Amino acid sequence: MTQMVYDAFREQRELNLMLGLQSNVEIGGRSGFIFNTKHGRPIMPAGVNSFLKNIVNAYNKKESKLAEEEKREPELMPPISSHTLRHTGCTRLGENNVNPKVMQYVMGCWMSGGHPFSTDRSGAKNIQMHRSQ
């Protein structure tokens, strides 16, 4: 984790404390979540997906209007999901030559056992295929 990311997380935790949004929930043995709902529960992927959908829709609406005014084709964003962000993170790890075992740990794959990011020969192919997509 870079210092900038660490500082951003620390600032968000401090903001949560000031706003009374600190998480008091434990899920899978983990607690102290940084990104929480107004009720102190961790934001789940469906909430992130809804947020991302709203951002993309707002951007596309604004871009469509601007493109129409400028008499050009709009450059619209495709749909984005929390899973898309997960894939992007994994791709960036691979591009930076992170050890596949470390990638598994960071991505949480050590919990699932059957994830395609294994370190055997077929797993290495899957990682390479994933990076090229």
| Neighbour tally for 126: CB within 10 Å | 16
For the chain, the first-to-last Cα distance in angstroms comes to 25
Identify whether residues 73 and 90 lie together within a single domain. Answer: no
Identify whether residues 73 and 87 lie together within a single domain. Answer: no
More confident residue, 34 or 7: 7
Rounded distance, CA 127 to CA 14, Å?
A: 37
Rounded distance, CA 48 to CA 54, Å?
A: 10
- Tokens 């469509």 correspond to what residue? 64
Identify whether residues 87 and 58 lie together within a single domain. Answer: no
Identify whether residues 31 and 58 lie together within a single domain. Answer: no
Identify whether residues 50 and 38 lie together within a single domain. Answer: no
Rounded distance, CA 118 to CA 101, Å?
A: 8
> Of 133, 114, 132, 110, nearest to 123 (Cα)?
114
Q: Domain of 25?
A: 1-43
Identify whether residues 101 and 114 lie together within a single domain. Answer: yes
Give me the sign of the Cα torsion angle 15, 18, 20, 25.
positive
Identify whether residues 85 and 133 lie together within a single domain. Answer: yes
Identify whether residues 89 and 129 lie together within a single domain. Answer: yes
Identify whether residues 35 and 14 lie together within a single domain. Answer: yes
Identify whether residues 74 and 106 lie together within a single domain. Answer: no
Identify whether residues 97 and 126 lie together within a single domain. Answer: yes
Joined together, the tokens standing for residue 61 give 């609406």
Residues 55-112 have pLDDT tens digits of 999 999 999 999 999 999 999 999 999 888 888 888 988 999 999 888 888 787 654 4
At 23 the three-state DSSP class reads coil
Identify whether residues 86 and 124 lie together within a single domain. Answer: yes
Reply yes or no on whether the pLDDT at 23 is more than 80: no
pLDDT score of 29: 86
The model's confidence at residue 125, banded by pLDDT at 50, 70 and 90, is very low
* The total number of structural domains that make up the chain: 3
